[in-house]
Chains A and B, each alone.
Chain A
Amino acid sequence: MNSKPNIPPYERSGFRRAQPYLYLLPVLIGVVVVTGGAIVAAFLLGFTDWDLVRPPVWVGFANFQAMFRSEQFYQVLGNTFYFVGITAPLMVVCSLGLALLVNRKLRGITFFRTIYFFPVVTSMIAVAVVWGWLYNPEFGFINYLLREWFGIQGPGWLLSTSWALPAISLMTVWKGVGYNMLIFLAGLQSIPDQLHESALIDGAGGARRLFSITLPMLSPTTFFVVVITLIGSFQLFEQTYTLTQGGPANSTLTLSYHIYQNAFQYFRMGYATAMAYVLFAITLVVTIVQFRMQKRWVYYQ
């Protein structure tokens, strides 16, 4: 008896065997060439002096040495951490607050959820133009309110070295809060109702339920939101690009924008890619730290 199964010749052909791989080929090409290739190329370019026009020249660690010796790099790094430090907590707290607000069974609540989500889908250019007007020191609505309601002369906002970055942070929170709100909302709605009901029967008030049930049960969602918010904040680019171009006096110059400047304005692609890897390393370390720390405060059911 022949032990081989009776497979038709077509099934045994090379084409048939290769078929699954062929289906995967477009994606594999994309991942390997476009993503993987760029990651590897960028890493290697960090060790070269490349102006985009002439061939790259291998310079070893020179770009990293120049970066760590550069006064400006530390200013930019400081700006980046400052931005992350004020934006991320504000974003998480505001989006959680909004999610709690719209997580109610009220008539027309979908309308409010939509309204809060609007900025997320609005073009950054449009947002930047509108906020630019709002921040206008003389004619802007914000300073008008401060002047008319509180009798305070508002600052120059985007034109002030002290206020420009907080102003961009505020706009970033306004623009992104709807997205995180939606994630929190999904998290809130997945908390079983019986937990709240039991707590109610036991006489727990709103605050107690918030801190003893909602926030702990929401902690995996909060963890996710914190991680993506921090990563997003480190990558701040569009806002500075459209609003301040790093000014005034480099006070809003952050790592991503500085990388862009060096790569595409100053013809220092090697230096820029080296800096991009430093940004990557910082983001990675911060993310790893968060993953390590999650054991202390994140509760999975």
Chain B
Amino acid sequence: MNFNKFLFLFLALLAIACGGDSQQSVDGKTTIRVAHFWGDQQELWKEVIAEFEKANPNIKVEQQVVSFTVHKDKVLAAAAADVDAGDLILLEDWFAQELLDREYLTDLQPFVDRDLKPDQIFPISLESFRRGTSLRAFPVAMGSYPLFFNKDLFDAAGLRYPDSTWTYDTLLAAAQKLTVDKNGDGKPDQWGFLLDNSGGFDGVLYSLGGGVLTQDLKRSAFNQPRTLQALQFWVDLVQKYKVSPSYASIRGGASSGGSLRPFETGRFAMAMLGSMLTTYKNNQFRWDIALPPSGPAGRKALRFAAAFGIPKNSKNVDAAWTFLRWIIRDMPAKYSDRLFYGLVPNSRRLALSPEYLNGQPTVNRRVVIDLIEKYSISTWRARWLEFRDNGFMPELDLMVNGEKTVQQAAADADRKINEVLSR
């Protein structure tokens, strides 16, 4: 065999080995790949998938589970190579927004129109996933930022639990009574309120009449007087009233030296936290959730979701949608409690089922449903992560720690956010 013939044979074999058609059919079944990052829910997903496959014998579902970072990078690598990263890919809001704007995902509106009635789902959940008339991802569950409170600490202080009549003045008054220096060293051992710069912050800001972005989400709202007042309120909680700790005590997590989940330490009477309720199941105290207080601009809280998208280049769009539709329309309610970490399933049937409402941990889950339906706002847009990371979060760090005044921090945040958004 001469060299040319050998080289040809080698390259041909290489091409066969590398290429290969994507296998869509195994024993006459369509196989769909669900790419997600909920590794600790893998076993539960297996059960759900088994139920689905029983009801849909022509579709086989494979899970592709990696950590969130790897998942995100995998989706991006697949997009760069113009292949699909799975037939269904799980998306966090900020990441979904980036893919939505870049038209990487299939329009699901025709499927929704055909198969789902508006009263079967929570239509508000779809809003941030729309671009024009198209719907580029479908949220399977949603959450918001209710007011978490530690019942044991409230009982010990003889205070009434938070309710829907609360304003931020009520919250401050309660927080002052719930902040306790037990050992008399001049530093509180128990804090009245916890607010960090995650999504809970947005709700406070908007309720107090301020905002992160203008209503059209195109510019920063950090130059608005109401935003400055809201920021001052936060700084006062830390520096003037001393009912909320500075970042030095709350931020970070195991990795950065603080407690990863400060509320779980039992040292905080109240906190504005994301409603992934099952992640709080190990709390060693009695707790519940309530609607966040209302402010001069009403009661507002950021809404977030766990959505699935189907890449445009998926070869199994119909089968992928069938699985998604089955979760919303037909999945047994017994999974609704844990499958989405206690987030509200985007299916009224599941969300209002006793299995969900009475799920563990037993807290007032209707609060989150109410919050989402009546009071939630969405500020999601592309570059969300960038204008937070590089725009205002560093400024808030400095502001709350007293290294910058509210005015300085707001002015710098305003400039930086607009810089990112104007690109």
Contacts and interface: CB of A to CB of B under 8 A. Distances in A.
Interface of A: 13-15, 17-18, 22, 51-54, 72, 128-129, 132-133, 135-138, 140, 156-161, 242-250, 261, 264-267
A261 B389 contact: yes
Interface string B351-391: 00000000000000000000000000000000101100110
Given A51-B102, A159-B251, A161-B403, A136 B258 contact: yes
B23 interface: no
A265 B68 CA distance: 12
Contacts of B383: 266
A248 B104 CA distance: 34
Nearest to B14: A29
Contact of B76 (A13, A132, A159, A264): A264
Interface stretch (B1-9, B52-60, B159-167, B289-297): B1-9
B98 A135 contact: no
Given A128-B255, A159-B258, A247-B394, A266 B102 contact: no
Nearest to A51: B102
A265 B73 CA distance: 9
Contacts of A264: 72-73, 76
Contact of A15 (B3, B73, B389, B397): B3
Interface of B: 1-4, 6-7, 72-73, 76-77, 79-80, 98-99, 102, 104, 247-249, 251-258, 383, 385-386, 389-390, 393-395, 397-398, 401, 403
A247 B397 contact: yes
CB-CB nearest 9 A-B residue pairs: A14-B3, A14-B2, A156-B248, A249-B397, A53-B102, A249-B394, A18-B3, A266-B386, A53-B79
A87 B386 CA distance: 29
A133 B386 contact: no
B6 A129 contact: no
Nearest to A66: B423
B2 A53 contact: no
Nearest to A138: B249
Nearest to A157: B257
Contacts of B80: 52-53
Contact of A129 (B254, B258, B390): B254
A158 B394 contact: no
Given A53-B79, A156-B248, A250 B394 contact: yes
Nearest to B251: A159
Given A15-B2, A246-B389, A250-B394, 4 more contacts: A14-B3, A132-B257, A138-B249, A267-B76
Most chain A CB atoms below 10 A, which of B1, B79, B252, B389? B252
Contacts of A140: 257
Contacts of B251: 159, 247-248
A137 B249 contact: yes
A88 B80 CA distance: 37
Nearest to B249: A138
B256 A159 contact: yes
Contacts of B73: 264
Given A133-B257, A158-B252, A54 B6 contact: no
A181 to B, nearest CB: 27
B3 A53 contact: no
Contacts of B1: 13-15
B197 to A, nearest CB: 10
A135 B7 CA distance: 59
Nearest to A128: B255
B257 A17 contact: no
10 contacts: A51-B102, A53-B79, A128-B255, A129-B255, A132-B252, A132-B254, A137-B248, A247-B256, A265-B385, A266-B385
A244 B395 contact: no
Nearest to A131: B257
B102 A15 contact: no
A14 to B, nearest CB: 3
A15 B4 CA distance: 8
A247 B104 CA distance: 32
* Residue from A13, A137, A249 with most neighbouring chain B CB atoms (10 Å): A249
A86 B77 CA distance: 36
A261 B385 CA distance: 10
A161 B3 CA distance: 64
B254 A133 contact: yes
